[in-house]
Amino acid sequence: MFVNNISLQHYRNYERLQLDSFGDVNLIIGQNAQGKTNMVEALFVLALSKSHRTSKDKELIAFDSSYAHIAAEIERKYGSLKLELSLSHQGKKAKINGLEQRKLSNFIGSLNVVMFAPEDLEIVKGTPGVRRRFLDMEIGQVTPSYLFHLQQYQKILVQRNNLLKTLWGKEASQQAMLDVWNAQLIEHGVKIVKKRKQFIKKLQKWAEYIHKGITNGLEELKLQYIPSFSDPEEEDEAVLFEAFMIKLSQVKDQEIRRGITLAGPHRDDLAFYINGNEVQIYGSQGQQRTTALSLKLAEIELIQEEIGEYPVLLLDDVLSELDPYRQTQLIETFQSKVQTFITATGVESLNADKLKDARIFQVHSGQVDA
């Protein structure tokens, strides 16, 4: 997979930007707040229709504009595609080769990316919500149907929570509507949990192998899904359905008292273990960084395994955060294999010998010089 060019209109601090040629490795150099991260963020948004930095689309639109537009031509193994995404206060419009896509899920996956940024350390040491978001975004890239079930689940969850808030002190006969929402919540929740378990199993295979290499065989990395209602290894949908139903019946009174749904994939988590010890609690900062790096490198291989070609790699201000050994491990992974975009404040913090063939783009105040 290869990004040939990109154009931006009214995106963040870019009034207009047109870059017509990229290389295998692209260094985007500039001081802070000049727009280098905005450029790689635009590629991420084009791939997933949402930012890795904010959940508010209006923040992506230039201050004095009513819309933002991102377009790029990409090469895939089956041919070239022109992708366009427009963001406005009315919503999003996506096009593939000039044809508007009625569903964003039909657009997502046209461009596959792996983003590695300093905040990705939070996948290891942050809250369960960060890890769930990581799973949702990565699975959604390679399995569009997952996004459908996730969107439906989230809508039903809101409705169910609204109903729970009205049920405190009501007779059992007035609680019948809860059974209707339960059936719908379980239908989509089971699909989400099953896909997450399958994804983690594949990610485990690659992450364990890569982590062992980075640590010279001294550390063994294990991933464990922590569901709120089932055995971590169970994938049979009928069994999951029954387990979810039983769990909801067990917590029903507590849910009504609190007015929130207490079981389901929105409450699940992901844990990381090095040599049997949980990294979030017992891991050193170096081990946490290496775990995050192993996950990202594993994502690259997993996507290639799933779709038959490598994704585009986006490294946002992350190489300078790694020691020389981890920099070398990362660079050797993507060179000659994965088109890569790297942002940095200067080349002096990077392993310049390993990046001597990179194309360099200088960014200053929303202007880019190649």
DSSP for 269-309, please give it: EEEEEETTEEHHHH--HHHHHHHHHHHHHHHHHHHHHHHSS
Annotated domain spans of the chain: 1-112+309-369, 123-308
295 near 203, Cβ under 8 Å? yes
Please state, in angstroms and as integers, the Cα–Cα distance from residue 273 to each residue in 34, 166, 253, following that order.
38, 42, 35
Q: Quick one: 1-112+309-369 is in which CATH superfamily?
A: P-loop containing nucleotide triphosphate hydrolases (3.40.50.300)
Please state, in angstroms and as integers, the Cα–Cα distance from residue 104 to each residue in 7, 113, 144, 165, 274, following that order.
20, 16, 9, 32, 38
The pLDDT assigned to 139 comes to 93
Both tokens assigned to 343: 């942002």
Beta strand pairing status for 25-29 and 340-344?
parallel
3-state SS, residue 166: coil
The pLDDT assigned to 107 comes to 93
From CA 10, how far away is CA 309, in angstroms rounded? 32
- Binding site, annotated residues: 30-37
Please name the helix (run of DSSP H) or strand (run of DSSP E) that holds residue 106, with its range, or none. helix 104-107
Nearest CA among 210, 180, 183 for reference residue 292: 210
Please state, in angstroms and as integers, the Cα–Cα distance from residue 241 to each residue in 26, 29, 160, 248, following that order.
47, 51, 18, 11
Lateral strand order in the sheet of 269-274? 221-226, 269-274, 277-278
Selected from 3.40.30.10, 1.20.1050.90, 2.102.10.10, 2.60.40.10, the CATH number assigned to the domain covering 123-308 reads 1.20.1050.90
Both tokens assigned to 187: 């239908």
61 near 90, Cβ under 8 Å? no
Each residue's pLDDT tens digit in the chain (370 positions)?
999 999 999 999 999 999 999 999 999 999 888 899 999 999 999 999 989 888 888 999 998 899 999 999 999 999 999 999 999 988 999 999 999 999 888 899 999 999 998 888 899 999 999 999 999 989 998 888 899 999 999 999 999 999 999 988 777 766 788 999 999 999 999 999 999 999 999 999 999 999 998 888 999 999 999 999 988 889 999 999 999 999 999 999 999 999 999 999 999 999 999 999 999 999 998 899 899 989 999 999 999 999 999 999 999 988 877 778 888 888 888 877 899 999 998 887 777 777 878 899 999 988 898 8
338 near 311, Cβ under 8 Å? yes
From CA 32, how far away is CA 331, in angstroms rounded? 23
The pLDDT assigned to 97 comes to 96
**1-112+309-369 and 123-308: identical CATH topology:** no
- Binding site, annotated residues for ATP: 30-37
Three-class SS string for 30-90? CCCCCCHHHHHHHHHHHHHCCCCCCCCHHHHECCCCCEEEEEEEEEECCEEEEEEEEEECC
pTM > 0.85: yes
- Residue 318: burial class (beta carbons within 10 Å; 0-12, 13-18, 19+): buried
Both tokens assigned to 70: 């991102």
